[in-house]
Amino acid sequence: MTNSNMRDVEPVSDLSRRLGLPFSNLSLLTRALTHRSYVNENPLAVEDNERLEFLGDAVLDFIVGAWAYNRFPEMPEGDLTKMRSALVRNEQLAKFARKLDLGHALRLGRGEAASGGQDRDNLLGSAFEALIGALFLDAGLGRVEAFVHPILEEAREFILTEIHDPKSKLQEWAQSQKLGSPRYRVLGTSGPDHAVVFEMVVEIAGEVKGHGSGTSKSYAEHAAAQDALNTLNIV
């Protein structure tokens, strides 16, 4: 199947089978994958995916919030909010869409397709939300949860690391104390060329507050930031 811009587009029936989502109403799935640029160029296409995107956004907010609440019973409200926000932001939804290869199934106008719309974060994130909205209308909340929960589990460790990023926490604390931004400095390296270990310190207002080491500068900075948080007793 191709659309008018001759870009190969995966048929919705194939996508439904590939994702293990047997839609009873394939027109909902078709609409979820239809960008407004396609509707503008194809009068027979009745509706784009923006209304389904709106619905999917609300359904995802609820499902992700409930999943985080039940998955992490000891997590405080502030961290639950951070986790939900990190999981439903457009950049993350675009990553989910790429893993599902939704871009190959998007129906785009010629100009949008020619400019690489099938791999653009905002289009992919919106398409993922629209897919969720379509699945909710077709099969209900339980089916959406069964589809989304494994996706959330796969992203769990990355998101946990991100929301508990010691560098971000140290930065927030330093700025709240009007001490400026932390400064990271390499003290030296050790080990062979293929396994270099970086020794790092972090300074706040000119004073060393933490030490760390790691096999990359980034890892060493994280370790130094965590050491500073421990030293400063910031939880």
The two tokens of residue 123 are 């289009």
Give yes or no: 57 in active site. yes
| Catalytic, out of 112, 129, 221, 227 | 129
Q: DSSP H helical segments within the chain, as ranges?
A: 12-19, 26-32, 36-41, 50-71, 77-88, 90-99, 110-114, 121-139, 141-163, 166-176, 217-231
CA atoms within 13 A on the CB side of 185: 13
184: three-class secondary structure by DSSP: strand
**CA distances in angstroms from 139 to 26, 113, 142, 149, 216, listed in the order given:** 12, 30, 8, 16, 47
What is the spatial order of strands in the sheet that 183-190 belongs to? Answer: 183-190, 197-204, 207-214
Task: Provide the β-strand partners of residue 8.
Answer: 2
The two tokens of residue 73 are 């019973």
| Catalytic, out of 48, 57, 112, 221 | 57
Rounded Cα–Cα distance for residues 230 and 212 (Å): 12
Instruction: Give me the active site residues, please.
Output: 57, 129
